[in-house]
Protein backbone atom coordinates (compact mmCIF):
# COMPACT_ATOMS: atom_id res chain seq x y z
CA UNK A 1 0.00 0.00 0.00
CA UNK A 2 1.38 3.41 -0.91
CA UNK A 3 1.82 6.00 1.81
CA UNK A 4 -0.84 8.68 1.88
CA UNK A 5 0.32 12.27 1.31
CA UNK A 6 -0.78 15.22 3.36
CA UNK A 7 -1.22 18.19 1.10
CA UNK A 8 0.06 20.49 3.85
CA UNK A 9 3.33 18.57 4.33
CA UNK A 10 6.23 17.54 2.11
CA UNK A 11 6.59 14.00 3.37
CA UNK A 12 4.38 10.90 3.65
CA UNK A 13 2.05 10.27 6.56
CA UNK A 14 1.35 6.87 8.05
CA UNK A 15 -0.61 4.28 6.14
CA UNK A 16 -3.56 2.60 7.82
CA UNK A 17 -1.40 -0.49 8.32
CA UNK A 18 1.36 1.50 10.00
CA UNK A 19 -1.19 3.23 12.23
CA UNK A 20 -2.56 -0.14 13.25
CA UNK A 21 0.94 -1.52 13.97
CA UNK A 22 1.86 1.49 16.10
CA UNK A 23 -1.41 1.22 17.97
CA UNK A 24 -0.60 -2.40 18.77
CA UNK A 25 2.88 -1.41 19.96
CA UNK A 26 1.45 1.36 22.15
CA UNK A 27 -1.16 -0.98 23.58
CA UNK A 28 1.55 -3.52 24.43
CA UNK A 29 3.71 -0.84 26.09
CA UNK A 30 0.77 0.37 28.16
CA UNK A 31 0.00 -3.20 29.26
CA UNK A 32 3.62 -3.71 30.34
CA UNK A 33 3.59 -0.42 32.25
CA UNK A 34 0.37 -1.41 34.00
CA UNK A 35 1.93 -4.72 34.99
CA UNK A 36 5.00 -2.95 36.39
CA UNK A 37 2.85 -0.72 38.57
CA UNK A 38 0.74 -3.68 39.69
CA UNK A 39 3.93 -5.48 40.71
CA UNK A 40 5.17 -2.38 42.53
CA UNK A 41 1.95 -2.05 44.53
CA UNK A 42 2.02 -5.72 45.55
CA UNK A 43 5.69 -5.41 46.50
CA UNK A 44 5.05 -2.40 48.69
CA UNK A 45 2.03 -4.05 50.31
CA UNK A 46 4.10 -7.15 51.07
CA UNK A 47 6.95 -5.27 52.73
CA UNK A 48 4.80 -2.77 54.59
CA UNK A 49 2.78 -5.66 55.98
CA UNK A 50 6.02 -7.26 57.20
CA UNK A 51 7.08 -4.03 58.92
CA UNK A 52 3.69 -3.64 60.58
CA UNK A 53 3.81 -7.23 61.83
CA UNK A 54 7.18 -6.50 63.43
CA UNK A 55 5.87 -3.30 65.01
CA UNK A 56 2.79 -5.05 66.37
CA UNK A 57 4.85 -7.92 67.76
CA UNK A 58 7.25 -5.69 69.64
CA UNK A 59 4.45 -3.42 70.82
CA UNK A 60 2.81 -6.47 72.39
CA UNK A 61 6.10 -7.49 74.04
CA UNK A 62 6.58 -3.94 75.32
CA UNK A 63 3.09 -4.05 76.80
CA UNK A 64 3.78 -7.36 78.52
CA UNK A 65 7.29 -6.87 79.91
CA UNK A 66 7.85 -3.10 79.78
CA UNK A 67 11.31 -3.44 78.23
CA UNK A 68 12.45 -0.08 76.77
CA UNK A 69 14.67 -1.86 74.23
CA UNK A 70 11.52 -3.01 72.44
CA UNK A 71 10.44 0.63 72.14
CA UNK A 72 13.71 1.40 70.33
CA UNK A 73 13.09 -1.48 67.94
CA UNK A 74 9.55 -0.23 67.25
CA UNK A 75 10.82 3.28 66.52
CA UNK A 76 13.52 1.98 64.15
CA UNK A 77 10.99 -0.25 62.35
CA UNK A 78 8.68 2.70 61.76
CA UNK A 79 11.56 4.88 60.56
CA UNK A 80 12.70 2.12 58.18
CA UNK A 81 9.16 1.75 56.87
CA UNK A 82 8.93 5.50 56.24
CA UNK A 83 12.30 5.56 54.46
CA UNK A 84 11.27 2.57 52.35
CA UNK A 85 8.06 4.28 51.27
CA UNK A 86 9.77 7.56 50.45
CA UNK A 87 12.65 5.89 48.64
CA UNK A 88 10.43 3.56 46.62
CA UNK A 89 8.18 6.39 45.43
CA UNK A 90 11.24 8.37 44.32
CA UNK A 91 12.66 5.37 42.50
CA UNK A 92 9.42 4.77 40.62
CA UNK A 93 9.45 8.41 39.54
CA UNK A 94 13.07 8.05 38.43
CA UNK A 95 12.53 4.70 36.75
CA UNK A 96 15.48 3.02 38.50
CA UNK A 97 15.50 0.28 41.17
CA UNK A 98 18.38 1.59 43.30
CA UNK A 99 19.13 5.20 44.10
CA UNK A 100 22.24 6.64 45.74
CA UNK A 101 24.85 4.22 46.99
CA UNK A 102 26.50 4.65 50.36
CA UNK A 103 28.67 2.61 52.69
CA UNK A 104 26.58 -0.09 54.39
CA UNK A 105 28.04 -1.91 57.39
CA UNK A 106 26.51 -5.37 57.15
CA UNK A 107 27.65 -6.08 60.73
CA UNK A 108 25.09 -3.50 61.86
CA UNK A 109 22.35 -3.75 59.23
CA UNK A 110 21.89 -7.52 59.15
CA UNK A 111 21.66 -8.07 62.95
CA UNK A 112 19.33 -5.06 63.25
CA UNK A 113 16.98 -6.44 60.61
CA UNK A 114 17.20 -9.93 62.11
CA UNK A 115 16.22 -8.62 65.55
CA UNK A 116 13.12 -6.95 64.10
CA UNK A 117 11.99 -10.00 62.10
CA UNK A 118 13.09 -13.16 63.89
CA UNK A 119 11.13 -14.28 66.97
CA UNK A 120 13.04 -14.26 70.25
CA UNK A 121 13.14 -18.07 70.34
CA UNK A 122 14.98 -18.27 66.99
CA UNK A 123 18.77 -18.44 67.40
CA UNK A 124 20.68 -16.02 65.15
CA UNK A 125 24.38 -16.37 64.34
CA UNK A 126 26.58 -14.43 61.93
CA UNK A 127 30.21 -14.12 60.87
CA UNK A 128 32.13 -10.86 60.69
CA UNK A 129 30.80 -9.17 57.58
CA UNK A 130 32.17 -6.45 55.29
CA UNK A 131 31.18 -2.88 54.63
CA UNK A 132 29.69 -2.67 51.15
CA UNK A 133 28.50 -0.01 48.74
CA UNK A 134 24.73 -0.21 48.38
CA UNK A 135 21.32 1.24 49.00
CA UNK A 136 20.92 0.64 52.77
CA UNK A 137 17.11 0.65 52.85
CA UNK A 138 16.69 -1.60 49.82
CA UNK A 139 19.28 -4.04 51.16
CA UNK A 140 17.49 -4.05 54.52
CA UNK A 141 14.31 -4.85 52.59
CA UNK A 142 16.01 -7.84 50.92
CA UNK A 143 17.44 -9.16 54.21
CA UNK A 144 14.04 -8.73 55.87
CA UNK A 145 12.45 -10.96 53.24
CA UNK A 146 15.15 -13.62 53.56
CA UNK A 147 14.70 -13.80 57.34
CA UNK A 148 10.91 -13.72 57.11
CA UNK A 149 11.00 -16.55 54.57
CA UNK A 150 13.07 -18.69 56.96
CA UNK A 151 10.60 -18.47 59.84
CA UNK A 152 7.27 -18.08 58.03
CA UNK A 153 7.83 -20.74 55.37
CA UNK A 154 10.70 -22.86 56.73
CA UNK A 155 9.67 -22.79 60.42
CA UNK A 156 13.37 -22.38 61.29
CA UNK A 157 14.75 -22.47 64.83
CA UNK A 158 18.24 -21.28 63.87
CA UNK A 159 19.25 -18.74 61.22
CA UNK A 160 22.85 -18.14 60.19
CA UNK A 161 24.65 -15.60 58.01
CA UNK A 162 28.08 -16.89 56.98
CA UNK A 163 30.88 -15.41 54.89
CA UNK A 164 32.83 -17.42 52.32
CA UNK A 165 35.60 -16.49 49.92
CA UNK A 166 34.67 -16.41 46.24
CA UNK A 167 36.49 -15.59 43.04
CA UNK A 168 36.44 -11.85 42.46
CA UNK A 169 34.54 -11.09 45.67
CA UNK A 170 32.85 -12.83 48.57
CA UNK A 171 29.80 -15.01 49.14
CA UNK A 172 27.39 -14.37 52.00
CA UNK A 173 25.29 -17.40 52.91
CA UNK A 174 21.85 -16.98 54.47
CA UNK A 175 20.93 -20.43 55.77
CA UNK A 176 18.58 -21.94 58.32
CA UNK A 177 17.65 -25.26 59.86
CA UNK A 178 14.07 -25.06 58.66
CA UNK A 179 12.11 -27.37 56.41
CA UNK A 180 13.84 -28.23 53.10
CA UNK A 181 12.51 -26.40 50.07
CA UNK A 182 10.40 -28.82 47.97
CA UNK A 183 12.09 -29.97 44.77
CA UNK A 184 9.27 -28.72 42.56
CA UNK A 185 9.75 -25.18 43.92
CA UNK A 186 13.54 -24.92 43.81
CA UNK A 187 13.78 -23.80 40.17
CA UNK A 188 10.92 -21.33 40.65
CA UNK A 189 11.86 -19.99 44.07
CA UNK A 190 12.68 -16.48 42.85
CA UNK A 191 9.55 -16.14 40.73
CA UNK A 192 6.92 -13.71 41.94
CA UNK A 193 4.00 -15.23 43.84
CA UNK A 194 5.72 -18.60 44.22
CA UNK A 195 5.46 -19.92 47.76
CA UNK A 196 5.19 -23.06 49.82
CA UNK A 197 2.16 -21.49 51.51
CA UNK A 198 -1.35 -21.23 50.05
CA UNK A 199 -1.87 -17.91 48.28
CA UNK A 200 1.73 -17.55 47.18
CA UNK A 201 4.28 -14.93 48.13
CA UNK A 202 6.57 -12.35 46.63
CA UNK A 203 9.44 -12.06 49.10
CA UNK A 204 12.18 -13.92 47.22
CA UNK A 205 11.26 -12.36 43.89
CA UNK A 206 11.78 -8.98 45.53
CA UNK A 207 15.11 -10.11 46.98
CA UNK A 208 16.41 -11.14 43.56
CA UNK A 209 15.40 -7.82 41.98
CA UNK A 210 17.09 -5.80 44.71
CA UNK A 211 20.28 -7.88 44.67
CA UNK A 212 20.60 -7.81 40.88
CA UNK A 213 19.93 -4.06 40.79
CA UNK A 214 23.18 -3.75 42.81
CA UNK A 215 24.90 -5.84 40.11
CA UNK A 216 25.31 -8.65 42.63
CA UNK A 217 23.76 -12.11 42.33
CA UNK A 218 21.85 -14.57 44.49
CA UNK A 219 21.04 -18.25 44.08
CA UNK A 220 19.69 -21.18 46.04
CA UNK A 221 22.45 -23.67 46.85
CA UNK A 222 21.79 -27.31 45.84
CA UNK A 223 21.90 -28.60 49.42
CA UNK A 224 19.21 -29.89 51.76
CA UNK A 225 19.67 -27.11 54.33
CA UNK A 226 17.92 -24.03 52.86
CA UNK A 227 20.86 -21.82 51.83
CA UNK A 228 20.76 -18.65 49.76
CA UNK A 229 24.18 -17.65 48.40
CA UNK A 230 24.60 -13.92 47.87
CA UNK A 231 27.63 -12.98 45.74
CA UNK A 232 29.14 -9.53 46.28
CA UNK A 233 31.89 -8.49 43.83
CA UNK A 234 35.08 -6.90 45.13
CA UNK A 235 34.10 -3.62 43.45
CA UNK A 236 31.22 -3.32 45.95
CA UNK A 237 33.32 -4.07 49.05
CA UNK A 238 34.91 -1.18 50.94
CA UNK A 239 38.59 -2.05 51.51
CA UNK A 240 37.94 -5.19 49.51
CA UNK A 241 41.58 -6.30 49.63
CA UNK A 242 41.14 -7.23 53.29
CA UNK A 243 38.50 -9.79 52.42
Q: What is the pLDDT along the chain (243 residues), one digit of tens a residue?
A: 444 444 444 444 556 676 667 667 766 766 666 666 666 666 666 667 777 777 777 777 776 777 667 667 776 777 667 666 665 665 555 444 555 678 999 999 999 999 988 988 999 999 999 999 998 888 998 999 899 989 988 899 999 999 999 999 999 999 999 998 888 888 888 875 554 443 334 468 888 988 988 889 999 999 989 999 999 999 899 976 556
Q: Of 94, 126, 144, which closes a domain?
A: 94
Burial 43-67 (b: 16+ CB within 10 A, else e): bbebbeebbeebbebbeebbeeeee
Q: Is beta strand 169-176 parallel, antiparallel or unpaired with respect to 123-126?
A: unpaired
Same domain, 111 and 88: no
d(C-alpha 130, C-alpha 170), whole Å: 9
Q: How far is CA 60 from CA 19, 65, 70, 212, in A?
A: 61, 9, 9, 36
In a domain? residue 2: no
Q: Is residue 32 part of a domain?
A: yes
Look at the chain and report how many structural domains it folds into. 2
Q: Do the domain assignments include residue 164?
A: yes
Please report the pLDDT score of residue 107 as a whole number. 95
pTM: 0.62
Based on the fold, state whether residues 149 and 75 are members of the same structural domain. no
Instruction: Round to whole Å and give the CA distance between 167 and 188.
Output: 26
Neighbours of 205 (CB within 10 A): 22
Q: Which domain holds residue 38?
A: 16-94
Name the burial class of residue 25, with classes exposed (0-12), middle (13-18) and buried (19+) by CB atoms within 10 angstroms of its CB.
Answer: exposed
| Residue 8 included in any domain | no
32 in the same domain as 107: no
Q: Is residue 11 part of a domain?
A: no
Residue 126 is part of a domain; what is its CATH number?
Answer: 3.30.565.10
Do 22 and 109 belong together in one domain? no
Indicate if 86 and 145 belong to the same structural domain.
Answer: no
| Residues 66 and 126 both lie in one domain | no
One domain for residues 43 and 151? no
Domain co-membership, 164 together with 210: yes
Q: Is residue 199 part of a domain?
A: yes
Based on the fold, state whether residues 43 and 60 are members of the same structural domain: yes
Same domain, 55 and 118: no
The answer to whether residues 123 and 177 belong to one domain is: yes
Q: Based on the domain organization, do 71 and 131 belong to the same domain?
A: no
Amino acid sequence: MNSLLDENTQGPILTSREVRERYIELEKAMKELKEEYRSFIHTMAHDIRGCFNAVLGYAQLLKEVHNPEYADTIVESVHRMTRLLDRSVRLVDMGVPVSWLSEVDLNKVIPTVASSVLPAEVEFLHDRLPIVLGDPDKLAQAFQNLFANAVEHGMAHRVEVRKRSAEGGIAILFRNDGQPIPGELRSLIFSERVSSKPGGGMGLGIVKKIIESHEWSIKLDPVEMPTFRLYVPASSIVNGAAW
